[in-house]
Amino acid sequence: MENLKTTSTAFTVLQFSLETGRDGQPTQRTKSCGVFSNVEEAFVSARLLAGREWSRLQRMALEKVGSQPVEMLDTEWGYDVRQGHLVVTRLWVHERQPSLPL
């Protein structure tokens, strides 16, 4: 049997956001929001960040007449914050497996 070194897995929380660029066109921004040693911690962090974003967007929507409702949905990979049919922020938990030496 082959002798393999013990490796650990880490979980990264990534935030994908839809924003308006300088030219007025929608653009996507990606940001790393932390690395966690277990998946439960990563999902808790993603849920807290999604809740903050939902709250921020909800306050903005209440100030605008006729704006689309804001909702937070849990998904298999994290959390989506949607306004109407559009996903404006996605918090995604990504498993980072270490590379094995050759």
Res 98: pLDDT: 60
Instruction: Count the domains in the chain.
Output: 1
Is the pLDDT at 18 greater than 70, yes or no?
Answer: yes
Res 77: pLDDT: 94
Res 1: pLDDT: 42
Q: What is the rounded CA–CA span in Å between residue 55 and residue 92?
A: 18
Q: With respect to residue 48, please indicate whether it lies within any of the assigned structural domains.
A: yes
Q: With respect to residue 22, please indicate whether it lies within any of the assigned structural domains.
A: no
Q: 50: domain range? A: 38-102
Q: With respect to residue 82, please indicate whether it lies within any of the assigned structural domains.
A: yes
Q: With respect to residue 32, please indicate whether it lies within any of the assigned structural domains.
A: no
Q: With respect to residue 80, please indicate whether it lies within any of the assigned structural domains.
A: yes
Is the pLDDT at 3 greater than 80, yes or no?
Answer: no
Q: What is the mean pLDDT of residues 44-59?
A: 95
* Residue whose token pair is 């929001």: 33
The pTM of the full predicted model, rounded to 2 decimals, is 0.80
Indicate the length of the chain as a whole number. 102
Q: With respect to residue 84, please indicate whether it lies within any of the assigned structural domains.
A: yes
